[in-house]
Amino acid sequence: PHQPKPTYKIACIGGDGIGPEVISAGVEVLRAICASPRCGFDLEFHEYDWSSDRYLRTGRYIPDDDDDLEGRKDQGLNSLKEKDAILFGSVGTPSVPDHISLWGLRLSICQPLQMYANVRPSKILPGISSPLSGVTVGDLDWLIIRENSEGEYSGHGGRSHLGQDHEVATEVSIFTRSSLLRIMRFAFSQASLRPRKLLTVVTKSNAQRNGMVLWDQVASEVSTEFPDVRWDRMLVDAMTVRMVRDPASLDTIVATNLHADILSDLAAALSGSIGIAPTANLDPTRRNPSMFEPIHGSATDIVGKGLANPVGTFWSSAMMLDWLGETRASQLLLQAIRHCCQEVNVKTPDVGGSSTTGQVTQAMIRYITSND
């Protein structure tokens, strides 16, 4: 019997800086993927103008669902809830303090939509070299899992205004058993799906004696549910040394919101460039759409010059297709990335090439259309 093609609704939020450039490159490549007879689905793209420009114009990054926008309501967060996935560029601009823009847009999407697991693969792609000498493809293949809902980025804390000489500011890290259980179960199950079944649990439990000790305890409890996973513990400071000195000893890594934020930038740099690294903000319960984005920021120094590496967005798009269950399409997209980086050597300057964003995008599309 003839099955209708599934159509996935994708929200596209370009955001600031090079965000819109890499997202439009991603959409072009995804359109080529849908057109391939190998992939039996359609994507429907919905563009959002949520950005710092919008904030400077209207005072809001995300409109209220009650606002009447051109005769339509429910154009805020509610409109994201009915999408199948979100493709996000970046947020941040010199004219808005970073803590306003980050909370105004990115965290205001991830937190209410319960995307509690942030997943960041790092691996050296063929044709891309690592700044670590002697480390090549296969020596560095990590999956970093970041707790994405609480910890150091809980948003709790404040500043007392007792006069300038006595000012005190607190930044409260919150760790709840229920959130730790869900992130540890997620991390152990991800580790168990990978060939090496190896998980490193990162903390700072020697110095931070409440939350981090609970983190260690919950890890140990959850480990008994996954007898096939080998696991070890590392303090975050020693972890940075191990990532540089012995990258092949690591596989899956789970860390707090702050620690994993830092470790994954290090991981991205060690794997070649922050321009290629992808990330997924997942709601593993699938009650809400998940959000996929390159890990790099708005890179305002290279806006509009054709220098933005779109590979981070392509790789994030491949993760999105995989999450939607479109494994073949996801594989095709990853093959196209390998083809550009290695065989035809079409790369942007940040990874040693001399091609533009547009040239890399066109090379991807040529590969996809010639391999269907």
Instruction: Choose among ligand ATP, Mg ion, none what residue 14 binds, the Cβ cut-off being 5 to 8 Å by kind.
Output: none
Comparison of 102 and 198: residue with beta carbon closer to Mg ion: 102
Instruction: Pick the stretch among 97-105, 116-124, 179-187, 289-297 that binds Mg ion (CB under 5 A).
Output: 289-297
Comparison of 90 and 148: residue with beta carbon closer to ligand ATP: 90
DSSP 11-64: EEEEESTTHHHHHHHHHHHHHHHHHSTT---EEEEEEE--SHHHHHHHS-SS--
Instruction: Look up tokens 């991981």; give the residue.
Output: 267
Residue 89 is a binding residue for ligand ATP (CB under 6 A): no
Q: Which amino acid is at 183?
A: I
Shortest distance (Å) from residue 179 CB to Mg ion: 24
Residue 350 is a binding residue for ligand ATP (CB under 6 A): yes
Using the rule CB under 6 A, which residue among 252, 288, 298, 316 binds ligand ATP? 298
Contact flags string 183-222 toward ligand ATP, x per CB under 6 A? ----------------------------------------
Q: Distance of CA 247 to CAs 141, 215, 331, Å?
A: 8, 24, 25
Distance CA 41, CA 216 (A): 43
Residue 301 is a binding residue for ligand ATP (CB under 6 A): yes
Using the rule CB under 6 A, which residue among 98, 232, 237, 246 binds ligand ATP? 98
DSSP 302-348: GTTTT----HHHHHHHHHHHHHTT-HHHHHHHHHHHHIIIIIS----
Distance CA 231, CA 242 (A): 15
The DSSP 8-state label assigned to residue 124 in this structure reads P
Instruction: Choose among ligand ATP, Mg ion, none what residue 32 binds, the Cβ cut-off being 5 to 8 Å by kind.
Output: none
Residue 26 and residue 293 in contact, taking contact as beta carbons nearer than 8 Å: no
Instruction: Choose among Mg ion, ligand ATP, none what residue 152 binds, the Cβ cut-off being 5 to 8 Å by kind.
Output: none
Shortest distance (Å) from residue 258 CB to ligand ATP: 15
DSSP strand pairing (42-48 vs 7-15): parallel
Residue 128 is a binding residue for ligand ATP (CB under 6 A): no
Comparison of 267 and 307: residue with beta carbon closer to ligand ATP: 307
Residue 274 is a binding residue for ligand ATP (CB under 6 A): yes
Shortest distance (Å) from residue 310 CB to ligand ATP: 7
Comparison of 89 and 297: residue with beta carbon closer to Mg ion: 297
Residue 299 is a binding residue for ligand ATP (CB under 6 A): yes
Residue nearest to ligand ATP (CB): 297
Determine how many CB atoms are found less than 10 A away from the CB of residue 224: 8
Comparison of 211 and 294: residue with beta carbon closer to ligand ATP: 294
Comparison of 54 and 106: residue with beta carbon closer to Mg ion: 106
Residue 312 is a binding residue for ligand ATP (CB under 6 A): yes
Determine how many CB atoms are found less than 10 A away from the CB of residue 274: 19
DSSP strand pairing (85-90 vs 7-15): parallel
Residue 127 is a binding residue for ligand ATP (CB under 6 A): no
Residue nearest to Mg ion (CB): 297
Contact flags string 290-309 toward Mg ion, x per CB under 5 A? -------x------------
> Residue 73: CB partners within 8 Å, gap ≥ 6?
65, 66, 67
Instruction: Choose among ligand ATP, Mg ion, none what residue 296 binds, the Cβ cut-off being 5 to 8 Å by kind.
Output: ligand ATP
Helix H, strand E, coil C: the string for 145-214 is EEECCCEEEEEEEEECCCCHHHCCEEEEEECCHHHHHHHHHHHHHHHHHCCCCEEEEEECCCCCCCHHHH
Angle of helix 311-323 relative to helix 327-338, nearest 10 degrees? 160
Site of interaction with ligand ATP (CB under 6 A)? 18, 90, 92, 98, 274-275, 296-299, 301-302, 307-309, 312, 348, 350
Site of interaction with Mg ion (CB under 5 A)? 297
